Structure 1
Amino acid sequence: MKLIEFVTANWMLILIALSSGGMLAWPLVRGAGGGTLTAQGAVHLINRERAVLVDVREPEEFATGHMIGAKNVPLNQLEEKLTGAVKNKGVPLLLVCATGARAQRAVAMAKKLGYEQAQAVSGGLKAWKDANLPVEKA
């Protein structure tokens, strides 16, 4: 009986708490279906599912620093060179650029080529570095 009295007396506070929780969870829910993933999510896919990293920046940008093990296929050459660089279309394909904008465009191209598990790393190399993840130079 006391629970009902508590809920009745504090219904507005309960509603605010539920709304706040929903607002905090929304970016996670939206991100999961948006085709992008965090740097930590990328690490998980690399370690657990042998995901392949493809950096779509220009070779000069790639040479200044890139994710360890990433292959460089510039965005303007992606349609011609991706199938040669990544032969297995069944593995997760992680596309990255400086900030994530070019990688988002690359996802659409990769999916058109048959890479159904293509995803962009949200925030690109900047987010990777911000997460203190390793970078190598060419």
Structure 2
Amino acid sequence: MERWLTFVGNHPVLFGILAVLIVAFFMVEGKRNGKKVTPNELGLLVNNQHARIIDIRPANKFAVSHISGSRNIPFTELKNHLDELRAIDTPVVFVCDVGLQAGAAVSLMAKPNFMRLAGGIQGYQAAGLPLAVANKAKK
């Protein structure tokens, strides 16, 4: 730790440049991934603005559990649905495991009504909200 402080003291310009680059990275990254919607805001969007939820996880993960009312279009198939999705006028919220892939989907769409669920399915569950679970046949 002492060496770090000595370095910062001896090279304030380099440290300043590093700080500016870090801030710029997070600003650009935040804008690139589109608007984030919290799990609680998602419910309001669905109820008040008839938002559509598109789960871009693989079909096998969607089959296990998903947000009730969501539609599954795996990320690998998203390009086949571009025109259909861009024609939607209501808000569209993309959902993935943790929110990263959904950010790429929002960037691909390039329309202001497309958003991503902050934290993805994991964030949704962490907020204490229920998922629809596939029915398993009992033996």
Q: TM-score, normalised by structure 2?
A: 0.67
* 1:100 partnered with 2:99: yes
Pairwise CA distance, 1:87: 7.3
5+ long unaligned stretches in structure 2: 1-29, 135-139
The answer as to whether partners of 1:79 and 1:110 remain within 8 angstroms in 2 is: no
Pairwise CA distance, 1:134: 2.1
| Counterpart position of 2:80 | 80
The answer as to whether partners of 1:99 and 1:124 remain within 8 angstroms in 2 is: yes
C-alpha distance in structure 2 between counterparts of 1:102 and 1:81, whole Å: 16
Query: Which secondary structure does the structure 2 equivalent of 1:91 belong to?
Result: coil
5+ long unaligned stretches in structure 1: 1-29
Q: Letter of the aligned partner of 1:120 in structure 2?
A: R
| Counterpart position of 1:129 | 125
Pairwise CA distance, 1:78: 0.7
C-alpha distance in structure 1 between counterparts of 2:86 and 2:115, whole Å: 17
* 1:69 partnered with 2:69: yes
Q: Letter of the aligned partner of 1:76 in structure 2?
A: T
The answer as to whether partners of 2:56 and 2:72 remain within 8 angstroms in 1 is: yes
The answer as to whether partners of 1:54 and 1:72 remain within 8 angstroms in 2 is: yes
Q: Letter of the aligned partner of 1:133 in structure 2?
A: L
C-alpha distance in structure 2 between counterparts of 1:41 and 1:122, whole Å: 10
Equivalent pairs, count: 104
Note the 1:1-138 alignment, pairs <5 A: 35-84=35-84, 86=85, 88-111=87-110, 115-138=111-134
Q: TM-score, normalised by structure 1?
A: 0.67
Pairwise CA distance, 1:88: 4.5
Q: Letter of the aligned partner of 2:128 in structure 1?
A: N
Query: Which secondary structure does the structure 2 equivalent of 1:119 belong to?
Result: strand
